C-alpha cells in the first residue's frame, strides 16, 4: 500500500443495509480526519464510483459474493486502498480466509465506535488491525517454546513470541513495550522472522501464525 497523500482520509462503505450505511457515515463524518466519499450496497455498485478511497470498510456477508470474493474484488478495483472487514461473522475460518484474501483489518459489528475508528486509522498507516476482543480470542495458551513444527520450526522462542504479537495486530513499538525489549531489538527480530519465513507482508505472518497454532478461536 502506497503512502497517503490526503490530509483527510477518504472512506468508502459497502453494506446491504442502507440504514446501517447511513448511520456509519454519520459516525465517521463527525471525525475531522475522516470523510465518507461513497457508499453502496454491493461491491459492483461501489465499483461504478469514480473514486480512489484510502480505506474501504465492507461487510463480507453479502448476498452476491463469498467472503473472500468480496475482499478480492475490492482489492482488484481499489488496489491502493486498505480494506477493513466490518461484519457479524466471528469464526476463525472466516477471519483467516478474509485476511488471506487481502483484508487489512477485521472488526465486528458489535464493537464500539472507538475500535472501528482505531482500525480505520491503523490500516491507513499500513498496519494490520484486529479488533482487540477478536485478537484476544485468537491468542493461543500454548507456550511459545513448545511450538516446534511447521514453518515456524526454525524460529527461536523469542521470535515466535514476536510473530504471535505481530499477528495479533501489535506494532513494533507496542511489542517492545509488552516484551520489555528495545524497539531496535524488535525490529531486528521481525526482520529475522520475515527472512526465515520468506514472507514480506503482515497478512502472510498472520497465516503462518494460524497454521502454527499460535492463534485460535
Q: Are 65 and 77 contacting, i.e. CB atoms less than 8 angstroms apart?
A: no
Q: Which pLDDT does position 134 carry in this prediction? A: 66
Q: Which pLDDT does position 137 carry in this prediction? A: 57
Q: Which pLDDT does position 150 carry in this prediction? A: 66
Burial of 18 from C-beta contacts in 10 A (0-12 / 13-18 / 19+): exposed
Q: Which pLDDT does position 170 carry in this prediction? A: 79
479488533: which residue's cell?
131
Domain-by-domain residue ranges, the chain?
Answer: 9-136, 144-211
Q: Which pLDDT does position 146 carry in this prediction? A: 46
pLDDT in tens, the chain (217 residues): 444 445 799 999 999 999 999 999 999 999 999 999 999 999 999 999 999 999 999 999 998 888 889 999 999 999 899 999 999 887 777 887 888 788 888 999 998 899 999 999 989 988 778 887 666 555 554 544 444 456 788 888 899 889 888 877 778 888 898 889 999 999 999 999 999 988 877 767 877 887 777 765 4
Q: Which pLDDT does position 3 carry in this prediction? A: 45
Q: Are 203 and 147 contacting, i.e. CB atoms less than 8 angstroms apart?
A: no
Q: Which pLDDT does position 138 carry in this prediction? A: 58
Residue 55: in which H helix or E strand, if any?
A: strand 55-58
Q: Which pLDDT does position 217 carry in this prediction? A: 46
Task: Say whether pTM exceeds 0.75.
Answer: no
- CATH superfamily ID and name for 9-136: Response regulator (3.40.50.2300)
pLDDT tens-place string over residues 111-142: 889 999 999 998 998 877 888 766 655 555 45
Q: Which pLDDT does position 5 carry in this prediction? A: 47
- Domain at 144-211: CATH code: 1.10.10.10
Alpha-helical (H) ranges within the chain are 18-28, 43-47, 67-77, 92-101, 113-124, 132-137, 157-167, 172-179, 183-197, 202-211
Beta bridge partners, 35, equal 10
pLDDT tens-place string over residues 40-52: 999 999 999 999 9
Q: Which pLDDT does position 128 carry in this prediction? A: 79
Q: Comparing C-alpha atoms, which of 23, 100, 114, 29 is closest to residue 69?
A: 100
Amino acid at each position: 500500500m502506497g503512502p497517503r497523500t490526503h490530509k483527510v482520509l477518504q472512506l468508502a462503505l459497502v453494506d446491504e443495509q442502507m440504514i446501517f450505511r447511513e448511520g456509519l457515515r454519520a459516525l465517521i463524518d463527525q471525525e475531522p480526519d475522516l470523510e465518507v466519499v461513497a457508499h453502496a450496497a454491493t461491491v459492483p455498485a461501489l465499483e461504478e464510483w469514480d473514486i480512489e478511497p484510502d480505506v474501504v470498510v465492507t461487510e463480507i456477508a453479502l448476498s452476491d459474493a463469498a467472503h473472500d470474493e468480496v475482499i478480492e474484488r475490492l482489492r482488484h478495483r481499489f488496489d491502493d486502498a486498505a480494506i477493513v472487514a466490518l461484519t457479524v461473522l466471528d469464526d476463525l475460518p472466516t477471519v483467516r480466509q478474509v485476511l488471506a484474501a487481502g483484508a487489512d483489518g477485521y472488526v465486528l459489528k458489535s464493537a464500539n465506535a472507538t475500535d472501528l475508528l482505531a482500525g480505520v486509522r491503523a490500516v491507513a498507516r499500513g498496519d494490520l488491525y484486529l479488533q482487540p476482543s477478536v485478537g484476544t480470542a485468537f491468542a493461543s495458551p500454548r507456550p511459545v517454546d513448545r511450538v516446534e513444527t511447521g514453518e515456524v520450526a526454525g524460529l527461536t522462542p523469542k521470535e515466535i513470541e514476536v510473530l504471535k504479537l505481530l499477528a495479533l495486530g501489535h506494532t513494533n513499538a507496542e511489542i517492545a513495550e509488552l516484551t520489555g525489549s528495545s524497539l531496535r531489538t524488535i525490529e531486528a527480530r521481525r526482520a529475522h522472522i520475515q527472512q526465515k519465513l520468506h514472507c514480506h507482508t503482515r497478512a502472510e505472518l498472520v497465516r503462518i501464525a494460524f497454521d502454527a497454532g499460535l492463534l485460535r478461536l
